[in-house]
Structure 1
Amino acid sequence: MSSAPRTSATRRQVLAGSGAAAAIAFTGAFSELFAGTAAARGHDGYGPLVPDPDGLLDLPKGFRYRVLSREGDPLRSGEGLVPGNHDGMAALRGRNGRIHLVRNHENRHTARIGVPTVEGLTYDPAAKGGCTSLELDGRNKVLGERVAIAGTAVNCAGGPTPWRTWLTCEENEDKAGTNGYTKDHGFIFEVDGADPRRTGAVPLTAMGRFQHEAIAVDPKSGIVYETEDAFDRPFGLFYRFLPEKPLGGTGSLRAGGALEAMRVPGVPDLSSVQETGTSFDRIEWVPVPDPLAAQTPIRFQDFGPKGITHAQKLEGCYWGGSSVYFVSSFARSDEGSAADHYGQVWRYEPGKRRLTLVVIFGPDTDVQLPGESPDNICLAADGGLMVCEDGGGAQHVLGVTRRGEVYAMARGRQNIGTPEEPEWGEFAGVAFSPDGSTMYVNCYTPGTTFAVTGPWC
């Protein structure tokens, strides 16, 4: 996982000490992030965090958690142990009120506990990443837990589809023969949490081979938007995939389609845009020369004399109203970006071909405030947002009201360091149940999946 800007530890320590709603640390038209969502009820957070006597998860008064799954425990299916490095996740509606919680495992080839290989569900036996699926009843009792896909690499994020499957993304572009892998990596795979054998372990090659992060699907057109979290220059691109058979459920994405990358005329690097509200019309979409990146990674390929638009740390991605929103977690000029920032949220309106910088996170107002390096992001039951910050120091799930106020929703208490130099595993995969009654979230390490219930409003 990536590191956050240098102020992150201080900012998190201040938030941890206050325990209450924090002042805003954002600039921009924050209300635009909630387009198409239910009306918020106007709260300012849920109050200070209460220390957990069991040392796992601090929550506001009135909230409680249940541990659904922990790394190293036996899978209920008997297929092996629960893998580590819990990351992106989705809560998909099942039959008879059940929920299928599909969870990524961002395992590299060096992982201590990899996803167990299962016949018919394994892409590359040498890879240790993949997904597991938990089946829950309406009260979050675990009814089953099994491997959903295995043999993939560095499954970071992804996104749900309108037909109730999960697209898991490999944040890796190693080719066969690298790090012991027997097949090329860097693909998206579709996972059916209810019946994993229906989707199997088939790479959706037309959607591109690169360091994938997250996706969002336009529910009307079926177009899939994809972010790329490349670790070196030139940084990642923002893509769209136009499927030959849109919105057809399992099988349709395998039919192929066209992969294109976004070009913002005159803007080679999104970090150079520093004013919220800045818009660009007539956004161009340029065909990717070689989506499989047989010889050259896509971001290095020749997109013509006008070039292509890059951005550092492209991560979270979701659909809201009639737009797709995507996150750049941070940009650092000393690492090659055109300018510095502590997190941007962009909105693209397909109907108008318009791109707008909606929000900038960071210490523009006060470096002691929380609100930087947004990573996993989801719409909350109360009409606001839940954001997992990505960095060092104390680790939180932050809530954000529709008025842009930031508050601590949860703090991890599992110390993976020492008493003298404590460290905490970051949060990932925040998601809500279809009825909004439960927030699910992962601790990345030690891999732990929580279900949080309480007076959501």
Structure 2
Amino acid sequence: MPETRSDGTPDNSRWANRRQVLARSGAVGVGIAFTGVLSELFAGTASALGRSGHGPLVPDPNGLLDLPKGFRYRVLSREGDQLRSAEGAVPSNHDGMSAFAGRGGRVHLVRNHENRPTARIAVPAVKGITYDPAGKGGCTALTLDGRGSVVSERVAIAGTAVNCAGGSTPWDTWLTCEETEEKVGTSGYTKDHGFVFEVDPVDPHRTGAVPLTAMGRFQHEAIAIDPRRGVVYETEDAFQRPFGLFYRFLPNKPLGGIGSLRAGGRLQAMRVPGLPDLSSIQETGASFDGVEWVDVPDPLAVQTPIRLQDFGPKGITHAQKLEGCYWGGRCVYFVSSFAHRAEGSAADHFGQVWRYDPTRRRLTLVVVFGPDTDVQLPGESPDNICLAPGGGLMVCEDGDGAQHVFGVTRRGEVYAMARNRQNTGTPEAPEWGEFAGVTFAPDGRTMYVNCYSPGTTFAVTGPFHR
């Protein structure tokens, strides 16, 4: 996600460094191969890009979204339009999202808005569901009827900050994550930020705007919940060294339904013995047994950010750019979008997907991204990630150049599913906003995805069963 300096101005140094790394590797303007094994989901290793999926992308005459032949899209919502609730304008910076089944074939979408103090359009403050009146972030909720038409759109939580990926619960609520750790008095905030909030997609006033403080105060990215044990896994997208941690939260009241996470619990961070930085591992299939979980000394980070706290003489395991997180089969998967030595990582990479098996206490590197040669195919830096109806993956790209949603089949084949055509730059120096929040309707027939900027929510239909 785009980053800012402490004074709120854009920090472009990371993107310059990324382009420098690409240039040194000879990968500027080229595609990225997807290699490795997802043994829980796929039957074999990844093959060459572009030999499966739904065929080549067809240029969209309207200049919004390129899709394969046979697919079509509908724009559900765009930033700046008026919310149907008349609460204000659709906010900026569309990010994480999930779809929930409603009555009579309806679908409820909850969508994050990763708004900082400099955001163009804030989430409107609404009585009863606003945490900090100075916060411009939050969530909006859309309800679609059985034909896929939007019948309502309203604020679901307001007054939060930098709401990033998040994740859904087994009891059909949304956990929105603040990707910041700014405290009261900074950036005009009247309350501390860096928390997770629960949002009911049907009736947001049931959940209100209550921070789940026991889940930690840090730069939250995404969450995934073990549906059998109720353990909540959390990623941290820290912008500076030392980089983020991978956490688990052990609720006092696991799988207890709406409001149960307010009962508290223990927050722990992952320690892989002998592995202080995940980026140093480059080979898919590399596994580490005996993963340890260490209690976080101060989950509220009253004085010191969690990643800087004292975890004892053995230290703790860090990773740069920890992003998407989801539960699949018996394991939790999480994404490191990239790592750069120049920024303090142990090694360079273009993206990793890791799998943690809680039964075996085993961590495995299952997917690695690296340079390829096809300019028409997806690039670097995987971000939001979800399971596709056929058992494969859909991954949002957050890198330089053209931005895609790309898929991985059960056979491990990679294909481009969508390409953003909304140029936010100039004809001479085009720029395209990243994708975020990819998710599927409960029946698997519709893919929903956001373009981060300009904030746009799409519904994509077509022969996903192929």
**Residue type matched to 2:399 in 1?**
G
Whole-Å Cα distance in 1 between the matches of residues 459 and 28 of structure 2? Answer: 23
Q: 2:117 aligns with which of 105, 109, 117?
A: 109
Give CA deviations for 1:286-311 in whole Å, capped at 9, x if unaligned: 00000000000000000001110000
* Partner in structure 2 of residue 80 of structure 1: 88
Report what 2:414 is aligned to: 406
Query: In the alignment, what sits opposite 1:347?
Result: 355
Contact 1:439 1:452 in 2 (8 A): yes
Residue 158 of structure 1 deviates from its aligned partner by: 0.6
Which residue of structure 2 lines up, in the alignment, with residue 135 of structure 1? 143
Instruction: Tell me the CA shift for residue 383 of structure 1.
Output: 2.0
Query: What's the offset of the Cα at 1:238?
Result: 0.3
Post-superposition CA distance 1:136-163 (Å, at most 9, x none): 1122110100000000000011101000
Residue 84 and residue 132 in structure 1: after superposition, are their counterparts in 2 closer, same or farther (change >3 A)?
A: same
- Whole-Å Cα distance in 2 between the matches of residues 340 and 14 of structure 1? 17
Q: Distance in 2 between matches of 1:297 and 1:425?
A: 30
Q: Which amino acid aligns with 1:289?
A: P
User: How far 1:49 moved relative to its partner?
Assistant: 1.2
Partner residue, 2:74: 66
Return 5+ residue gaps in structure 2 as ranges. 3-13, 44-50
User: Distance in 2 between the 1:12 and 1:66 partners?
Assistant: 32
Q: CA 1:94 to 1:11, structure 2 compared with 1: closer, same or farther past 3 Å?
A: farther
Q: Which residue of 2 aligns with 1:21?
A: none
Tell me, in whole angstroms, the C-alpha distance in 2 between the residues paired with 1:241 and 1:14.
Answer: 40
**Residue 281, structure 1, aligned to residue 289, structure 2:** yes
Q: Does 1:51 align with 2:76?
A: no
Pair 1:359-2:360 in alignment: no
Instruction: Measure, in 2, the Cα distance between the counterparts of 1:416 and 1:366.
Output: 26
1:145 counterpart (146, 150, 153): 153
Residue 235 of structure 2 is aligned with which of 203, 208, 227? 227
CA distance in 2, matches of 1:420, 1:76: 37
> Residue in 1 aligned with 2:222?
214
Is 2:390–2:410's contact at 8 Å kept on the other side of the alignment?
no
Aligned partner of 1:240 in structure 2 is 248
After TM superposition, give the deviation of residue 403 of structure 1 in Å. 2.6
Are 1:264 and 2:260 matched, yes or no? Answer: no
User: How is 1:167-178 mapped onto 2 (pairs within 5 angstroms)?
Assistant: 167-178=175-186
Are the aligned partners of 1:56 and 1:412 in contact in 2 as well (CA < 8 Å)? yes
Determine the structure 2 residue equivalent to 1:165: 173
Deviation at 1:370, TM superposition (A): 3.6
The residue type equivalent to 1:102 in the other structure is: V
* Structure 1 Cα separation of the partners of residues 259 and 392 of structure 2: 34
Q: Give the CA deviation at 1:391.
A: 1.3
Distance 2:464 2:34 in 1: 24
Contact 1:362 1:371 in 2 (8 A): no
Deviations 1:159-200 (A, max 9, x none): 010000010000000000000000000000000111000000
State the distance in 1 between where 2:176 and 2:265 align: 18
State the shift of 1:277 in Å.
1.2
Partner of 1:155, secondary structure, is: coil
* CA deviation string 1:366-411 (max 9, x = no partner): 5966453110111112222111111121111111222322211111
Distance 2:382 2:93 in 1: 19
Contact 1:84 1:113 in 2 (8 A): yes
Structure 1 residue matching 2:273: 3-state secondary structure: coil
Question: Of 448, 451, 464, which aligns to 1:443?
Answer: 451
- The CA distance in 2 between the partners of 1:438 and 1:152, in whole Å, is 29
Cα distance change of structure 1 residues 424 and 12 upon mapping to structure 2, 3 Å threshold: farther
Which structure would you say has the larger RCO, counting Cα contacts within 8 Å and 6 or more residues apart?
Answer: 1
Letter in 2 for 1:301: Q
Change (3 A) 1:92 1:11: farther
How many residue pairs match? The answer is 442
Aligned-pair Cα RMSD in Å: 1.9
Residue 27 to residue 14, structure 1, CA distance change in 2 (3 Å): closer
Give 3-state SS (helix, strand or coil) of 2:406's partner. Answer: strand
Q: Give the secondary-structure state (helix, strand or coil) at the position aligned to 1:30.
A: coil
Measured after TM superposition, the shift of residue 13 of structure 1 is 5.1
Q: How does 1:189-204 map to 2 (within 5 A)?
A: 189-204=197-212
Q: Which residue is equivalent to 2:331?
A: 323
The alignment status of 1:253 with 2:261, answered yes or no, reads yes
Instruction: Give 2:363's aligned amino acid.
Output: L
Structure 1 residues 399 and 254, CA, compared in 2 at 3 Å: closer, same or farther?
Answer: same
AA paired with 1:101? L
Partner amino acid, structure 1, of 2:439? A
Equivalent-residue separation in structure 1 for 2:291 and 2:181 (angstroms) = 27
Deviation at 1:73, TM superposition (A): 0.4
The aligned counterpart of 1:310 is 318
- Looking at structure 2, the residues matched to 72 and 182 of structure 1 have their Cα atoms a distance apart, in angstroms, of 26
- Deviation, 1:74, is 0.5
| Structure 1 residues without counterparts, runs of 5 or longer | 16-23, 36-42
Q: Encode CA deviations 1:32-55: one digit per residue, 9 max, x unaligned.
A: 4459xxxxxxx8111111111111
Say if 2:268 and 2:293, in contact at 8 Å, map to a contact too. Answer: yes
Partner of 1:180: 188
Q: Deviations over 1:241-265 (max 9, x none)?
A: 0000010111100000000000001
Report the AA paired with residue 332 of structure 2. V
Rounded to whole Å, the distance in 1 between the matches of 2:58 and 2:134 is 43
Deviations 1:297-350 (A, max 9, x none): 000000001110000001010001110011111110110001111111111111
Partner amino acid for 1:71?
E
AA aligned opposite 1:442 = N
Q: Following the alignment from structure 2 to structure 1, what is the Cα–Cα distance between the partners of residues 219 and 374?
A: 31
| Of 431, 435, 438, the match for 1:430 | 438
| TM-score, with length taken from structure 1 | 0.93
Give the superposition deviation at 1:14.
4.9
SS of residue in 1 equivalent to 2:166? strand
Determine if contact 1:28/1:277 at 8 Å carries over to the other structure: yes
Q: In structure 2, what is the Cα distance between the partners aligned to 1:241 and 1:285?
A: 10
Partners of 1:30 and 1:403 within 8 A in 2: no
Q: Distance in 1 between matches of 2:259 and 2:411?
A: 41
Say whether residues 1:296 and 2:304 are aligned partners: yes
Q: Describe the shift of the 1:153–1:144 C-alpha distance in structure 2 as closer, same or farther (beyond 3 A).
A: same
- Give 1:154's match in structure 2, choosing from 162, 185, 188: 162
